[in-house]
Structure formats: structure tokens, C-alpha cells
Amino acid sequence: MGENTIKIRMATVDDAEKILAVYAPYIRETGITFEYEVPTVEAFRERIEKVLTRFPYLVAERDGEILGYSYANPLGERAAFSRAAETVLYVKKDARGEKIGSRLYARLEEILKKQNITNICACIAYREEEDETLTHASPKFHAACGYKKIGHFTKCGYKFGRWYDLIWMEKFIAEHTEEPPAFIPITEIAFF
């Protein structure tokens, strides 16, 4: 089961149930996401559909099984944020170590560059001391992908009877020019 059998493709709303199956254990078992309740499949379909109006929503698939997913969201809703995006990545627990996250992020960045995004940011749950709900794997992964820590919010999330911090990490993926090109929605990009 080598990584060459893994296909990276654009998600559709019909993938919602399989994508939610990847995400749900993170809600139930970890502090990685601050959600308490697993959303319904219909609510998740709506989330995917909303992302796909502006940004890529990618899945890594092998033999019909979704092993991970990645997408981007606006960093903020104001017009001046139009060249910055927040990146999101989840990999199925039993598929870790197969470089799925790296492949998803590489493809996501490639598309975001075509959309004229310059800055990508990741919002990451953090605890000084690792425990069964949260390790330092995500900050280490993002650092290996070229992200740099730019902010730290202390004890701003509460889940499982404990407090979690948030760190923000950022990466520049394009040059900051005096007159940058306009953002191009994913619906106007030929990406595959």
C-alpha cells in the first residue's frame, strides 16, 4: 500500500459521510478540534459546499476510502483578507505515517497559489504538556512544511475537563507585491 496508490482529488458534497468518518474521532477523542459534538452528515455537506464556493476542498483516497482531507477557509471576511487563507488538515488515524498530510498540503498550496493567495495560516490546538488528547505532532508537522509560529493564545479552549491553548502558524507562498493580483475563486480555476 504505497503512497503512489493514493489519489488526491477535489471533494464533493457526496463525500461528506466518508470525510466526517475521518473527522469524528478527532471530535470525540482529542483536543485538536474544539467542537464538542459530531455534526450531522447534512451539516457537514453544507460545510463542504460552502468551502467549495471559494476554496479547494481536497481528499486523499485509496481504493474508494478517504484517508484524509484538507481545505482552506478565508482568514477573515473583510476585503483586505482576500489574499490570506486558513488551512485545515485531518488524516485518518490509521493512515498516519504515509505522507498523506504532506501530499494534501502540497496540492492545496499549489491551488491556493493559482488563486493568488500569499499567506496561509494554521490555527492549532496546543498544550505545554502532551497528553492522551493532544500531542505536539501538528506544530511539528507544520514547522516541517515551512510554517512559522506567529501567535500563542493561552487557555482559550476548554474540553475534556482541561484547558487548551491555540497557536497560529503562518507561511508565505507568494511574493507580497505593491499591486497584488486579485483573488480568484476556486470555481474559476482549472486545477486538474
Give the per-residue pLDDT at 117: 98
DSSP 107-170: HHHHHHHHTT--EEEEEEEE-SS-BTTB-SHHHHHHHHTT-EEEEEEEEEEEETTEEEEEEEEE
- Which pLDDT score, from 0 to 100, does residue 4 have? 59
Mean pLDDT of 127-154: 97
pLDDT of residue 96: 81
Mean pLDDT over residues 93-122, rounded? 94
- Structural domains in the chain, CATH included, are 3-182 (3.40.630.30)
Confidence of residue 113 (pLDDT cuts 50, 70, 90): very high
Q: What is the distance between the alpha carbons of residues 75 and 85, in angstroms, rounded to a whole number?
A: 5
Closest CA to 54 of 77, 73, 78: 73
Integer CA distances (angstroms), 174 to 47, 180, 188, in order: 27, 10, 19
Residue 95 binned pLDDT confidence (cut-offs 50, 70, 90): confident
Over residues 148-183, the pLDDT tens digits come to 999 999 999 999 999 999 999 999 999 999 999 999
Task: Round the average pLDDT of the chain to a whole number and report it.
Answer: 95
How distant is the alpha carbon of residue 179 from its chain centre? 28
**Among all chains, which residue has been given the C-alpha cell 498544550?**
127
SS3 assignment, position 174: coil
pLDDT at 191: 55
Digit-coded pLDDT (tens) for 47-69: 999 999 999 999 999 999 999 99
Q: Read off the DSSP letter of residue 178.
A: S
